[in-house]
Chains A and B, each alone.
Chain A
Amino acid sequence: MIELDTHPTGAAVVRVDGRLTMVDAPAFRSAVAEAVGEAATTVVVDLSACAFMDSSGLGAVIAGLKAARQAGGDLRIAAPSTQVLTVLQLTNLERVLRPFGSVAEALRAG
Chain B
Amino acid sequence: MAGQAALETAPDPVLAEHERLLDLAALDVLGRGPEERFDRITRMAQQLFGVSAAAVTLVTDAAQVHKSQSGPLPLADGAREHAFCDVTIRRPELLVVEDATQDERFAGNPSVTGAPGIRFYAGHPVQGPGGHRVGALCLVDERPRHFGAEERALLAELAGWVQRELDRSTELESAARVQAALLPLGTPDIAGYEVAGMCLPSGSVGGDFFDWHPAPDGQLVLTLADVMGKGLPAAIVTAMVRAVMRSTARDAGPAEAVREAAATLHEDLERTGRLVTMCHAKLDAVGHRVRFADAGHGLMLLVRADGSFARPAGGGLPLGVLAGEEWPEGVVDLAPGDTVVAFSDGLLDLFDGTTDSLPQIAAAVWDCVDAAHVVDRFTVLARRVGIRTDDVTLVAIRRTP
Contacts and interface: CB of A to CB of B under 8 A. Distances in A.
Contacts of B116: none
Interface in A65-103: 66, 83, 86, 89-93, 95-96
Interface size class of B (residues with CB under 8 A): 20 to 34
A63 interface: yes
Interface stretch (A6-14, A41-49, A53-61): A53-61
Interface of A: 22, 55-56, 58-59, 62-63, 66, 83, 86, 89-93, 95-96
A89 B275 contact: no
Contact of B298 (A56, A91, A95): A91
Contacts of B226: 55
Interface string B346-358: 0000000011000
A51 to B, nearest CB: 13
- A-B pairs with lowest CB-CB distance, top 8: A91-B296, A90-B298, A55-B228, A59-B228, A92-B296, A59-B275, A56-B229, A92-B315
Contacts of B270: 66
B299 interface: yes
Given A92-B296, A92-B298, A96-B321, A59 B274 contact: yes
Contacts of A92: 296, 298, 315-318
28 contacts: A22-B229, A22-B230, A55-B226, A55-B228, A55-B229, A55-B275, A56-B230, A58-B275, A59-B228, A59-B229, A59-B275, A62-B275, A86-B354, A89-B298, A90-B296, A90-B298, A90-B299, A90-B345, A91-B298, A92-B298, A92-B315, A92-B317, A93-B296, A93-B318, A93-B321, A95-B317, A96-B321, A96-B322
A63 B273 contact: yes
Interface of B: 226, 228-230, 270, 273-275, 277, 296-299, 315-318, 320-322, 345, 354-355
A83 B354 contact: yes
A83 B315 CA distance: 20
Nearest to B230: A22
Given A59-B273, A90-B298, 17 more contacts: A22-B229, A55-B229, A56-B229, A58-B228, A59-B229, A59-B275, A62-B321, A89-B298, A90-B299, A91-B297, A91-B318, A92-B317, A92-B318, A93-B296, A93-B321, A95-B317, A96-B317
